[in-house]
Chain A
Amino acid sequence: MLLARRNLFRDRTRFLLSVAGVATSIGLILLLAGYRLGVYRQASAYLDSTPGEVVVAERGIRDFLGTTSTLPAGAEEAVRQVPGVERVIPIVSQFVIFERHGRKDGFFLIGYEPTAGGGPWKLVEGREPAANDELVIDRTTARQHEIAPGDTLGVLDRTMRVVGLSDDTTFWAGSIAFARITTLESLLRAPGLRSFLLVTAAVDVTPGTLRDRLAVPGTEVLLKADVIANDRKLLARVYDAPIGLMVAIAFVVGVLVVGLVIYTATIERRREYGAVKAIGARNWTLYRIVAIQALIAAAVGTVVGVGLAFAAGTALMAWRPQFRVDIEPAAIGVVLASSLLMAILAALIPARSIARLEPAEVFRG
């Protein structure tokens, strides 16, 4: 232990380098994991914040974000008549692209009836849309595109006035915007169009029972939690492979850096290791010295890396507020385990040269 510590701290730059290597790697892994979680949380923000435990969609559609749902005419009335239905929020949703300053951006446009609910849950400025040419948009999007309440914005073939700003409404492909349901009906040239119904069960009915009761032809009835899970699956198809790839790269780089530093430290101390061998130390003792060095570097690096991830996450959210980074204790646990693994793998790199070391080397000129 003493040997390991002395070996490691003798050259401060080298020690700092190995710590920096682990810290970069750990910080990167945590940041990516937090970013992924943030993407998922943002994706379910609307459903999480809108009342209702059961979602009614077009037959065959089981997600909220990925497709355009069109309910059969009369579905809303049919649902309202089912016993055990406490409240129905009808909405029309459509993804639209708008352009400001020569840059394209997306709105997940929600049409709702202010009396029924389903509108912005965190209105930070202005008011809800009262007329057909009015719009509530996300605060971050408004700031990025320099839009203030009272300004107008082209949406499809309409010019609409922004009357309010909402918060917590950004997501991976733009942000959520709100308009009256009649606005969406006329924008999409479909009078009476309904995309989804969010249904709340009466107190004496469980959501599962209500779901089974809502057998309206041409519709798909799901628990809200299942719809959220399906949206995540859709996102995972696009997001998980690149993020997984980057986590793997960060991990390999961490192992490489720590391994290299310890390897060099070992090579340079060959003489000393030889001497220790010559006075009777087993290979195993030497391995331990190397492994402890790797563990110390990994432990310090992990602490710094966690700090780095929080700092980078905060900086990222300040730079681009549409990104959300959620670093959870569980992720830190995983990272601790992976840094331990990094240290063990890194210690393997110099292990071979130690095993081959001749005790006699110490006596050579």
Chain B
Amino acid sequence: MSATLLLARRNLARNRVRLVASVGGVALALSLTLALDAIYAGVANQLTTYIDRSGADVWVSQAGVRNLHMVASWLPATVTDEVRAVPGVAEATPILYSTDTIVAGDERAVAYVIGLPGGARMGGPWDVVDGADHVGRGEIIVDRGFAKKAGVSIGDTVTVLGGEARIVGLSAGTASLVNSVAFVSFDDFQAMRGGAPVVSYVLVKVAPGASPETVASAIEREVPDLTAQSAADFAAQERRLVMDMSADVISIMNVIGFVVGLAVVALTVYVATLARRREYGVLKALGARNTALYRVVLAQAVLSVALGFAVGLAFTGLLTLVVPQAGLGLELSIGGASLVKVGLFALVIAGLAAILPVRQVSSLDPAVVFRRGAVT
């Protein structure tokens, strides 16, 4: 086998241009799949940031609402007191929530606007880098990135929920690829909606020692017409939303990455074999069996794919470091499952890519070596 490897390695290394093209092509194709998986995983992580950092153990929403992203949830305001009365509930904070556009000068950005009651101990900003960490009437806390981009700061006015609000604080970690999170007062939010006595979600902190799952079931049992989920379940639902809704796009991109990788490796291994026909002929004339030559070809394919995989992984790894610095609010995250999938892709590609040159070698006439002139 070591002779096989040696031959394969030499064959590959002999022509540097070809090696670079082959490894580069595979790396590009594989990082296409890897990077896309990483983008979706990153987006899913960002989506759950608010849920993870809200401080709530249980999320109560309108019956049938199991997500936060893009949706609406409206409950009668009386629900908060009913939830508070459920055993195991230590604290309950109602919030209002809507997807809105914040306008500051020429800058407009989509934001999740959260209406916070005065003195709320859950659901507020978790990392205020400048200014106040709570909002009163006519006030707003916006994401630091948005403020920087819009060129506004504390004391400036933005348009939100159809009215105006003055920035009193800047928060960090509240931006994602598509939106940021902004905090306004509960009363402002309610007034904008015509003053109807409703809330969007009730955030619940459970009593020490109580399990969020048990308390969630108790709330659903005792208060009619609502959905209660532990924060972990709620975040899991949110991640599933991204995955379910992008599953088809991801599989299309996977197919494309696969086809491109296959085409590149097949071609380079084929060309490498073609260029070495004479040498293969010599080996045959010396008595080498076809299987031995097949192994050389296969080893070449596997080697170039393995190298390509390593380069592709390094490239994607580099992207996960560089992209978050670009200020797009985009974050990448490479998962184990994605690595295994792309690794399997690479193996299949190497196997398939070897088929064409293998046929070529098997039909090779050992006598070719004794002919004079160029080989076609």
Residues on A lying within 8 angstroms of B by beta carbon are 10-11, 13-14, 17, 20-21, 24, 28, 58-63, 66-68, 70-73, 94-97, 99, 103-106, 154-158, 173-174, 188-193, 218-219, 234, 237-238, 241-242, 245-246, 249-250, 252-253, 256-257, 259-261, 263-264, 267-269, 271-272, 316, 320, 322-323, 349
Contact = CB atoms under 8 A, between A and B. Distances in A.
A67 B244 contact: no
7 nearest A-B pairs in the assembled complex, by CB-CB distance: A157-B63, A189-B74, A60-B159, A104-B244, A59-B162, A60-B103, A58-B162
Contact of A188 (B72, B101, B245, B248): B72
Nearest to A156: B64
Interface string B186-212: 000000111010100000000000000
B263 A257 contact: yes
**Of residues A28, A96, A189, which shows the largest number of chain B Cβ atoms within 10 Å of its Cβ?**
A189
A112 B335 CA distance: 44
Interface residues of B, number: 70
Contacts of B39: 242
B156 interface: no
A106 B270 CA distance: 47
Contacts of A96: 71-72
B245 A189 contact: no
B99 A67 contact: yes
A263 B17 CA distance: 9
B8 interface: no
Nearest to A257: B267
A73 B260 contact: no
Interface stretch (B22-30, B80-88, B115-123, B289-297): B22-30
28 contacts: A14-B271, A21-B263, A24-B263, A59-B163, A60-B160, A61-B100, A61-B101, A66-B110, A67-B100, A70-B161, A96-B71, A97-B65, A97-B71, A103-B244, A155-B64, A156-B64, A157-B62, A189-B198, A191-B196, A245-B32, A249-B260, A253-B25, A256-B24, A257-B25, A263-B18, A268-B376, A271-B374, A322-B248
A105 B270 CA distance: 45
Contacts of A252: 28
A190 B193 contact: yes
A62 B110 CA distance: 10
Given A188-B74, A256-B25, A70 B193 contact: yes
A106 B64 contact: no
Contact of A246 (B32, B161, B248, B267): B32
Contact of B267 (A21, A94, A158): A21
A261 B248 contact: no
Contact of A261 (B159, B260, B267): B267
A322 B248 CA distance: 10
Contacts, number: 184
Contact of B248 (A68, A250, A320): A320
Interface stretch (B45-53, B124-132, B135-143, B251-259): B251-259
B275 interface: yes
Contacts of A155: 64
Nearest to B72: A94
Interface of B: 17-18, 21, 24-25, 28-29, 32, 35-36, 39, 62-67, 70-76, 98-103, 108, 110, 159-163, 177-178, 192-194, 196, 198, 225, 237, 240-241, 244-245, 248, 252-253, 256, 259-260, 263-264, 267-268, 270-271, 274-275, 328, 356, 373-376
Nearest to B192: A70
A190 B237 CA distance: 26
Contacts of B62: 156-157
A174 B25 CA distance: 34
A66 to B, nearest CB: 5
Contact of A59 (B159, B256, B259): B159
A312 to B, nearest CB: 10
Contacts of A94: 71-72
B74 A190 contact: yes
Nearest to B198: A189
Given A70-B193, A253-B25, A269-B374, A104 B241 contact: yes
A97 B103 contact: no
A218 B192 CA distance: 10
Contacts of B328: 241
A264 B375 CA distance: 12
A330 B284 CA distance: 53
B25 A237 contact: no
**Of residues B29, B260, B268, which shows the largest number of chain A Cβ atoms within 10 Å of its Cβ?**
B260
A269 B178 CA distance: 55
Contacts of B198: 189-190
Nearest to A323: B248
Nearest to A10: B376
Contacts of B373: 271
B162 A267 contact: no
Given A24-B263, A156-B62, A256-B21, 9 more contacts: A66-B101, A73-B194, A104-B237, A189-B76, A190-B193, A252-B28, A260-B18, A268-B374, A320-B248
Nearest to B224: A157
Contacts of A73: 194
Contacts of B67: 97, 104
Contact of B72 (A68, A158, A268): A68
Contact of B245 (A21, A104, A157, A218): A104
A271 B177 CA distance: 57
A95 B112 CA distance: 14
A192 to B, nearest CB: 7
A75 to B, nearest CB: 10
Contacts of A191: 196
Nearest to A157: B63
